Structure 1
Amino acid sequence: MNRVVTNIFPEAPYDFELTVGYHTYYRSRYGTDYWEDDKYRRLLEIDNKLLLASVRSTGTVEQPELEMVIEGTSLSPYDVTRAKSQIEWILGTSQDLRQFYESIFDDDPLNNFCQSFYGLHLPHTLSAYEALILAVLGQQISTNVAHSIRTLIIEKYGSIAKYNGMDYYAFPKPISLAKASLEDLRLLKMSYRKAEYINGISQIITDQPDLLEFEEYHDNNEIVSKIMQLRGVGRWTAQWLLIKGLGRMDAFPVGDLALKQMLTKLYFDQTPLKEVEMETFSKRWSPWRSYATTYLFAANRQGLI
């Protein structure tokens, strides 16, 4: 077993604790992501090797620095570089928040939340496929139920490795869920239709692994239209894919019920909103609507809304 230590220097301001806490829903374990003893851990699958990345903060919000320990068998420089790149992506270390903060300075509710969660970066899923499957799993159910199903599907179909006496899981590969029977997926507490969606999407991605890869020049609306051609994927799911899986900075999930409730309470004195009204209102935060969404949800999860 090899062990390599390297460092990551995020774009300031960067609050490691806030970012990881938001990513894990403030739980010690959320699916493939672990947050204990001030360390974030994630099992990475690189060229069929299962590597454990452990990250802790050694800097400050204004001068951030992360220490990353990579453990695995026969670690190569390529493995270390790939692992570092993946963790940087998951933890959103390259994001520059300054323009966003400046743009919402006169927006009292949102600016207040930005002060409360100063340095919170937008974390991502490791892959667009992971974001898509998790968004489908989360359709029309509570966060707690989604968390339960998420854990079950990861432990059933994800790769597993033991480090320091503890089991860690990687997110399932498309082929694993493509081969799963609908009956077996139903045993994981999901509906038959949702099992069909998960299985069908996984079959398509197995056959077309580049389907969820997009370049910077691809417009958000173009991506949403393409993704919505997949059975089981609506606009809400596609918008969350933009935010969590593709790292697009100007996405806004107008169909999200919790987000609608937040907006009506903060800005519209509880007056009900239509989706088109949400979309129009959200343009005040463009081109940083993904950040605005993140900070609203961060405040909501902490009971500030």
Structure 2
Amino acid sequence: MTEMLLAVQQPFDFQECLVFLSRSEQEVLHVTTPDTVRKLMRIGERLILIELQEAEHHIRVRFPVDEVSDTEKERVAREVRDWLDLERDLKPFETMGAKNELLAPLIEAHRGLRMIGFPDLFEALTWAIIGQQITLSFAYTIKRRFVERYGDHQVVGGRTYWTFPRAERIALLEPEELRELQFSRRKAEYVIDIAREITNGDLSKTALQSLSSANIRERLLAIRGVGEWTADYVLMKCFQDASAFPIADVGLHQAIQHQLGTSKKPTIEEVKRYGESWQGWEGYATFYLWRSLYGNV
């Protein structure tokens, strides 16, 4: 079995990342065990199955099935680093958080957790739109249907591994086809419109990465179906902007209420005030607060 090692900025806790990746039994884009995660990646025109496992100060990347070229290894390494935010120096976040009443206990409990994201812009936007104004459980149900109908797959050892659908494929659909999966009419239109923008070259992560965070946000907000929450979520999870702040996020409000032990959720103004002490790390603060919602495993 071919493998390689990726160096990781410390602190890093692979087990904490596995807890996050294992949070839904309906997840269809990766498979976790107590010690590993497997994911099918699209590298160029190839589908390559990878398995990640902890190694001292590194992540071991294994290729259970495929022989891979050096160029493909480099692309896989880049994808894994982006997915798990491995190149981030978390020490400044920890220094800031240690003085913060909300964050200090979370950083102590989950030290080394990374802001796990979506390297692919189409996946990030689609997932954010699917999740608008519905429960997380129902969002996962819709995502599974979407992936299993339009994604690519590979069967290894009797298990099926999936990739997220390509924008080029979704661009060819009509809204009625996504309505069959229980997308709302509007969401179906939004996702297909985004797929067409990406396919036509009018929307590109590479092009957006040359802009400032403020300008990326402005461009995202110009997309039909993308409001402030979606733009901030995509900035945080696709562009790895540690300062992105989805301030209206329901889960964030629940987590703050839970951490403070209060009887009601905070107002937007109260969340803004908390965010003032997280400056530059609002995205990571949000991610750690989300972590508090699914237990102390």
Output the TM-score relative to the length of structure 1.
Answer: 0.90
5+ residue gaps in structure 1?
none
**1:242 counterpart = 2:240:** no
| Shift in Å, 1:207 | 0.7
Counterpart in the other structure of 2:281 = 288
Deviation at 1:81, TM superposition (A): 1.2
Where 2:134 maps in the other structure, the secondary structure is coil
Residue aligning to 1:89 = 82
RMSD between aligned residues = 2.2
- Tell me the SS of whatever aligns to 2:111: coil
2: CA distance between counterparts of 1:37 and 1:124? 20
Partner of 2:60: 67
Match of 1:52 in 2: 49
Matches within 5 A, 1:37-186: 37-59=34-56, 64-71=57-64, 73=66, 75-186=68-179
Query: Counterparts of 1:271 and 1:158 in 2: how far apart (Å)?
Result: 41
TM-score, length-scaled by structure 2: 0.92
Within-5 A mapping of 1:226-237: 226-237=219-230
Cα drift, residue 268 of structure 1: 9.3
Cα contact 2:26–2:140 (8 A) shared by 1: no
Match for 1:4: what amino acid? T
Aligned twin of 1:302: 295
Identity of aligned residues (%): 25
Query: Residues 276 and 131 from structure 1, CA distance in 2 versus in 1: closer, same or farther, beyond 3 angstroms?
Result: same
Q: Separation in 2 of the partners of 1:248 and 1:65? A: 23
Q: Which of 5, 9, 12 is the matching residue for 1:11?
A: 9
Distance 2:214 2:130 in 1: 23
Contact 1:158 1:173 in 2 (8 A): yes
Which whole-Å deviations, capped at 9, do the CAs of 1:176-202 have from their partners, x for residues lacking one?
111122111011121111111111111
**TM-fit CA distance, 1:40:** 0.8
How many residue pairs get matched?
297
Deviations 1:57-87 (Å, cap 9, x if unpaired)?
122xxxx222111245552211111112111
Measure, in 1, the Cα distance between the counterparts of 2:58 and 2:190: 41
- 1:17 and 1:151, CA in 2 relative to 1: closer, same or farther beyond 3 A? same
Cα separation, partners in 2 of 1:192 and 1:257, compared to 1, 3 Å: same
Distance 2:265 2:219 in 1: 30
Show CA shifts across 1:134-154 (max 9, x none).
000100000100111111111
Say if 1:272 and 1:72 are closer, same or farther in 2 by CA, change over 3 A. closer
Counterpart secondary structure, 1:213: helix
Q: Is the 8 A contact 1:159 1:172 kept in 2?
A: yes
1:103 deviation in Å?
0.8
Q: Which amino acid aligns with 1:151?
A: R
Contact (CA 8 Å) 1:129, 1:245: kept in 2 or not?
no
Q: How big is each residue's C-alpha offset from its partner over 1:108-131, in whole Å with a ceiling of 9 and x where there is no partner?
A: 231001101011111111212211
Q: Which amino acid aligns with 2:176?
A: E
Aligned to 1:8, the other structure's residue is in SS state strand
The 8 Å contact of residues 220 and 242 in structure 1, kept in 2 or not, is answered as: yes
How far did 1:28 drift?
5.5
- Shift of residue 8, structure 1, vs aligned partner: 1.3
Question: Does the CA-based 8 Å contact 2:36-2:52 persist in structure 1?
Answer: yes
* 2:38 and 2:52 in contact (8 A); partners too: yes
